[in-house]
Structure 1
C-alpha cells in the first residue's frame, strides 16, 4: 500500500479542546508496521494552517519527539499539509529514549534502528530521573491528548 505521507511530511493534529497542533514525520518504519517517529510543535492554531505558514519548523523547537501509530494519517483525520521544503533527514535525528522499571527504579537509555522503529539496537544504564522521552509507542489518540495538554 502506498502511504499518503513520507519522511518530511507535515500534518495537523486536531486538539481535543479545539484547534490544531503540528506534526512532522521524521522516520517511517520500513516494515509496513505503521510506525512513525514524529516531531510535534505549537503554538495552538485555530484552523488547519497552510504549509507555507509552518515551513519554518526547526527540530530544536519541537515540544515532543515520539514514536506513534499512523491510523489517523491514513484515514485523513490528521490532514497532511505537504512536504517540508528542503527536507534533510540528517537535521531531524532519531533521539535516544528511556526505558524505566518503576518497581526497581532503574532505567536504560535505548537507541532504536533508523529503519525499524521497534528494534532496539543498543541499551545502556541511564539515571532513573532521566528527562529523555519514554520508550513507548503512542496511539494516535494519545498524541492528540498529549498535544491538547501542551497547547492550551
Structure 2
C-alpha cells in the first residue's frame, strides 16, 4: 500500500476543484495525522485558484459545508494549498457534533469525535422531532471526489454534469 505524504496541517487553506471548472476554498480544522481531516468549506465559486491567501474571506459562520473527509486530494496535489491561517485557534474553528440519519426511521444519532484522533468518542440517540437535523454536519468519512461533487451541487445548483445531460436526453 503506498504511503501518502501529509503535506498539510491544521489551519491549512486550500482550493477544491469543482465539476464546473471553478473552485471552492477549504480549511483543515482538525487532522488525525494520517489522511483523515475535519474541515470547513466556503463559497462562492472562484474562477481560478487565488495567487495569495485572503484570510478575511474565511468566516466560519459562512461555511457552506463541513465534515470529515479524506486528505488524499491535498496529499496528491489535486487540491492546491494557498497557505496557512496565521493565527489559527482551534477554539475559533470548533469541531461540532455530527449527525447520522442513515435510515428512514425516527432515530437520530449525534456523534462526538475526539479532536486529535478523529475517532468516535460518544453517540447520543434522539428522535427527528427532538433535533434540528440541518444544524449539524453529516457523519461519515467522505472521499475527496465526493466532496468535490457535493460542493459543486451546493455552490452551483444549476450545474449538470455530462453524465446527467446524457441521462436526461
Q: Any unmatched runs of 5+ in structure 2? A: 157-169
* Residue of structure 1 equivalent to 2:83: 82
Shift of 1:133: 1.8
| Larger proportion of strand | 1
Q: TM-score with structure 1 length normalisation?
A: 0.90
The aligned length equals 149
1:101: how far off?
Answer: 4.5
C-alpha spacing 1:50/1:105, structure 2 compared with 1 (3 Å):
same
Q: 1:27 and 2:15 equivalent?
A: no
**How far did 1:54 drift?**
4.3
How many Å separate the matches in 2 of 1:15 and 1:126? 35
Equivalent residues of 2:99, 2:139 under 8 A apart: yes
- Whether the aligned pair in 1 keeps the contact of 2:53 and 2:83 (CA below 8 Å) is no
Give 1 or 2: higher helix fraction.
2
| RMSD, aligned α-carbons | 1.6
Shift in Å, 1:150: 1.3
Give the drift of 1:2. 5.4
1:124 aligned partner: 124
Q: Kindly tell me: are residues 138 and 71 of structure 1, through their superposed partners in 2, closer, same or farther at Cα, counting changes over 3 Å?
A: same
Q: TM-score, normalised by structure 2?
A: 0.81
* Matched residue, 2:73: 72
Q: Structure 1 regions of 5+ residues with no counterpart?
A: none
4+ runs of 1 displaced by more than 6 Å?
none
The reply on whether 1:112 has 2:108 as its aligned counterpart is no
After superposition, residues 1-152 of structure 1 pair within 5 angstroms as 3-30=6-33, 32=34, 34-117=35-118, 119-128=119-128, 130-131=133-134, 132-152=136-156
Bigger CA radius of gyration: 2
Structure 2: distance between partners of 1:73 and 1:52 = 16
